[in-house]
């Protein structure tokens, strides 16, 4: 009897994790076993590793209009965000300023790795201002300006939201921060943005954006997990979080993970020539997805701005239904989707991002995040819409 052909799975959760590009994997392999030296060693093997590290740093810096010495490699986006926020606070403490005299600004829809840092600072006596968003998920730059004061150490606003895909006006916020400091005559606070989700689709030139610190994540550009870069503009003072060595300009001690750094650089190299074309393709695919879902499922609501959003993101809510049930039902049919930030799901809570838009818990509970990548095609969307319609009908029958 012939074996039944297995249906190919459809993966629509690229915002959570992307596969490593085979060309990236190929570039990394040599540094796991062949060129395995420690980049801090002075022998031939160490020199080769150090050369690869330096080349990767140049590649990452060039991609964002930075200098090589402004790139700090870390273990992931979460660590880079922690280093930017806690690093700025620790550097300020070293000048004699207590945390109780420090002020930080962020938004209500940031990634948990930013919000949890702010919560920690708040508990230790710092002041934190949380800027709200409009119904479309957009921050008003003027609200950031109004919140600034002479005690403000750092502003941290993400470039592209990983859950609803909304793009924030980073350049305008940076301008407001500069002007407010000039007019109010206090030292300009550092401005940090997490561009982990944005880098795959948007230009991230640090001079044009006007940022002092920026997080990039390899796994969001078809690179390896566990590798990130933090851009730190020259003259920006941050202190390291760990002790144990002088690597990464003394800001991130520990033996450098050369294979992953090389993989990150290769992913950057492959990204830049195709980024704009791929963004346009995915933008059309996202519009096609929204139109078809809303036509087949009238009760479905799109979360966040349509105009100002990452091209690979479609966030929908179906109030009254359980997004987790829908995701599991789709998974059983061979379709992988998300229900929100993967880091948030670990807490078991409903989405604070959706609730920040002004919606209630039922709306948040019924949310699905669809995020696309290089392999996503129209036929995948057609199959998704058909399957989603079917599982919604099943859940409605069960609930009634």
Which CATH code is given to the segment(s) 22-271?
A: 3.40.640.10
Q: Please pick, among 149, 204, 294, 343, the residue that the annotation labels catalytic.
A: 343
117 annotated active-site = no
Contact 309, 371 (CB under 8 A): no
The three-class DSSP label of residue 124 is coil
Please state the domain extents for the chain.
10-19+275-399, 22-271
Contact 370, 162 (CB under 8 A): no
Among 156, 1, 12, smallest CA distance to 89 is for: 156
Annotation: CATH topology of 10-19+275-399: 3.90.1150
Per-residue pLDDT at 153:
97
Contact 114, 156 (CB under 8 A): yes
Spatial strand order in the sheet of 190-194: 71-74, 228-232, 213-217, 190-194, 152-156, 103-107, 127-131
Continuous H helices in 303-369: 323-332, 342-345, 352-356, 361-365
Give the predicted TM-score (pTM) of the model: 0.93
Q: Give, for all 400 residues of the chain, the pLDDT tens digit.
A: 445 555 789 999 999 999 999 999 999 999 898 888 777 677 887 788 889 999 999 999 999 999 999 999 999 999 999 999 999 999 999 999 999 999 999 999 999 999 999 999 999 999 999 999 999 999 999 999 999 999 999 999 999 999 999 999 999 999 999 998 888 888 899 999 999 999 999 999 999 999 999 999 999 999 999 999 999 999 999 999 888 887 878 788 887 889 999 999 999 999 999 999 999 999 999 999 999 999 999 999 999 999 999 999 999 999 888 899 999 999 999 999 998 644 444 445 678 999 999 998 888 899 999 999 999 999 999 999 999 999 998 777 766 6
Per-residue pLDDT at 50:
86
Rounded to whole angstroms, how far apart are CA atoms 193 and 301?
A: 28
């Amino acid at each position: 009897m012939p074996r039944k052909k297995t249906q190919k799975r459809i993966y629509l959760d690229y915002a959570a994790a992307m596969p490593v590009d085979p060309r990236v994997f190929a570039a990394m392999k040599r540094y796991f076993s062949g060129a395995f030296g420690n980049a801090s060693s002075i022998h031939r093997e160490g020199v080769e590793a150090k050369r690869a590290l330096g080349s990767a740093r140049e590649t990452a810096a060039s991609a964002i209009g930075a200098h090589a010495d402004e790139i700090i490699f870390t273990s992931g986006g979460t660590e880079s965000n922690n280093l930017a926020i806690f690093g700025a606070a620790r550097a300020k403490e070293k000048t004699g300023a207590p945390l109780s005299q420090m002020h930080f600004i962020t938004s209500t829809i940031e990634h948990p790795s930013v919000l949890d840092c702010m919560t920690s600072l708040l508990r230790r006596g710092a002041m934190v201002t949380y800027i709200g968003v409009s119904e479309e998920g957009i921050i008003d730059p003027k609200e950031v300006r109004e919140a600034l004061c002479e005690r403000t150490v750092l502003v941290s606003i993400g470039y592209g939201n990983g859950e609803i895909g909304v793009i924030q006006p980073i350049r305008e916020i940076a301008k407001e921060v500069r002007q407010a400091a000039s007019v109010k005559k206090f030292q300009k606070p550092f401005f940090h943005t997490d561009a982990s989700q944005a880098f795959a689709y948007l230009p991230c030139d640090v001079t044009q954006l006007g940022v002092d610190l920026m997080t990039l994540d390899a796994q969001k550009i078809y690179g390896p997990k566990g590798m990130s870069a933090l851009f730190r503009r020259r003259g920006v003072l941050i202190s390291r979080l760990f002790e144990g060595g002088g690597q990464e300009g003394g800001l991130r001690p520990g033996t450098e993970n050369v294979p992953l750094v090389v993989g990150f650089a290769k992913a950057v190299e492959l990204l830049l020539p195709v980024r704009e074309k791929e963004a346009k393709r995915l933008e059309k695919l996202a519009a096609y997805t929204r139109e078809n879902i809303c036509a087949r499922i009238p009760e479905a609501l799109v979360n966040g701005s349509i105009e100002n959003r990452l091209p690979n993101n479609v966030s929908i809510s179906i109030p009254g239904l359980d997004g987790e049930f829908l995701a599991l039902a789709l998974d059983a049919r061979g379709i992988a989707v998300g229900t929100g930030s993967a880091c948030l799901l670990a807490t078991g809570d409903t989405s604070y991002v959706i609730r920040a838009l002004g919606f209630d818990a039922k709306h948040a509970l019924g949310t699905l995040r669809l995020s696309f990548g290089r392999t996503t095609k129209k036929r995948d969307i057609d199959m998704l819409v058909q399957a989603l319609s079917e599982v919604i009908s099943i859940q409605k029958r069960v609930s009634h």
